[in-house]
Amino acid sequence: MTDEPERSASTASGSKGPARSGSARSRPRRADAERNIDAIVAAALECFTERPDTSMTAIAHAAGVSRVTLYTHFPTREEVLAAALDLAVADAERALTDADEGPADEALAAVIRSSWAVLGRYRNLMVAAEALSPQQVRDTHRRALDRVARLVNRGRHEGVFRTDMAAEWIVTVFYSLVHAAAREVTEGRMTADQAGTMLERTLRTAVAPPTGSQRREQPA
């Protein structure tokens, strides 16, 4: 019953063939929306990497979309900033895939170098991310920080990391120092290379067993 008016209207208008279903019409729109979102997030990452105070207008221009399209998908600057941060952290996680192999103290040095090699490029983004809530930023880094936590616990078991501090605190020190290094470089007090060197030196010293403690002997 309800289909009859649609067929009559179709015939009267001279159209041929069945009308496209709503789902068929929506598929191209969804694909377009996904392409726009991908373009916006990639552009936002590029823009925030260049300037932590980048504007929504600059992001829309870099993405090749209108401001209306940008605000349709990301109603606030904080939302597109969070999406760009997710993309950067995913990049860092890929760099850490094989970095935590080998003895824990050597693996930590590799993790620091690998993470800074990526996050150092995104230091302006990390400064921009201060506009987000601290918990939101930390949650974005959760998988990478979980990897560091596992490494810290392994190092404690191997006897190469200190055990007089909670592992979670050591992870917090790692997280905080990486962000502090980004701020130092952005504000011109260090070069990226200097920050990477100081970050590794500081963190390795911070996790080393206190003076006088001995490395635990491992079973043969």
Give how far Cα 66 sits from Cα of 43, 50, 60, 87, 107, Å.
13, 21, 6, 22, 46
User: Residue 66 and residue 72: Cα distance in Å, rounded?
Assistant: 10
The confidence score (pLDDT) of residue 212 equals 57
Mean pLDDT for 94-102 is 74
The residues, ordered by sequence, that sit 6+ positions from 120 with a Cβ below 8 Å of its Cβ are 181, 182, 185, 192, 195, 196
Please tell me whether the overall predicted TM-score, pTM, comes out greater than 0.85 for this model: no
Domain ranges of the chain: 76-207
Q: Which of 111, 201, 105 is nearest to 161 (CA)?
A: 105
Is 204 a residue whose pLDDT tops 70? yes
User: Residue 128 and residue 16: Cα distance in Å, rounded?
Assistant: 54
Residue 85 CB neighbour total at 10 angstroms? 24
Task: Tell me the CATH architecture of domain 76-207.
Answer: Orthogonal Bundle (1.10)
pLDDT tens figures, 134-189: 888 888 888 888 888 999 999 999 999 999 999 999 999 988 898 888 889 888 99
The confidence score (pLDDT) of residue 95 equals 73
Give how far Cα 189 sits from Cα of 119, 194, 195, Å.
17, 10, 9
Is 16 a residue whose pLDDT tops 80? no
